[in-house]
Amino acid sequence: MKKGKQGEGGGKPKVVFTQDQIEQVEKLASLLTKGQLCDYLGISEPTFRAIEARQAEVSFAYKKGKGKAIASVAASLLKQAQKGNMTAAIFFLKTQASWKEEQPEAQEIPPINIVVDSRATNAKPE
């Protein structure tokens, strides 16, 4: 039986990540969102956030893993752009250099009137 007053010692024990789990978080951060990572680890997102708050190294590992993945993909994108891949170059410049495509200004088209000469409809082939 539980001893003490309500709120003292009851409930689930707090989850604490081991060094191996922290390294796993860093590796998986490049592949998964936080929600997906939580599903993989079998914990809820609020639990993961609480772990990050208690163990700063978990939060750091997640951010480091995400950062490494972004840097790797960005480097690959830049290499493709420098090799002449126009799609990669345009995407890079739009996202990193604030390039924008100009939208053509909407123009009003005047109405077109078609007049059919009544003689043309009754014309006989020669």
Q: What is the pLDDT of residues 54-102, one digit of tens each?
A: 999 999 999 999 999 999 999 999 999 999 999 999 999 999 998 888 8
CA distances from 119 to 23, 50, 123 (A): 88, 87, 6
Confidence of residue 4 (pLDDT cuts 50, 70, 90): low
Counting the structural domains of the chain, the total is: 1
Q: Is residue 111 part of a domain?
A: no
Q: Is residue 73 part of a domain?
A: yes
Is 95 part of a structural domain of the chain? yes
Higher pLDDT, 11 or 74: 74
- Average pLDDT, whole number, for the chain? 89
More confident residue, 34 or 112: 34
pLDDT band at 36 (very low <50, low <70, confident <90, very high): very high
pLDDT over threshold 70, residue 124: no
> In the prediction, which pLDDT does 108 show?
87
Q: Which residue has the higher pLDDT, 43 or 118?
A: 43
Residue 58 lies in a domain: yes
Range of the domain at 24: 19-99
Residue 18 CB neighbour total at 10 angstroms:
8
Q: Mapped to the 3 state alphabet, what secondary structure does 11-50 carry?
A: CCCCCCCCHHHHHHHHHHHCCCCHHHHHHHHCCCHHHHHH
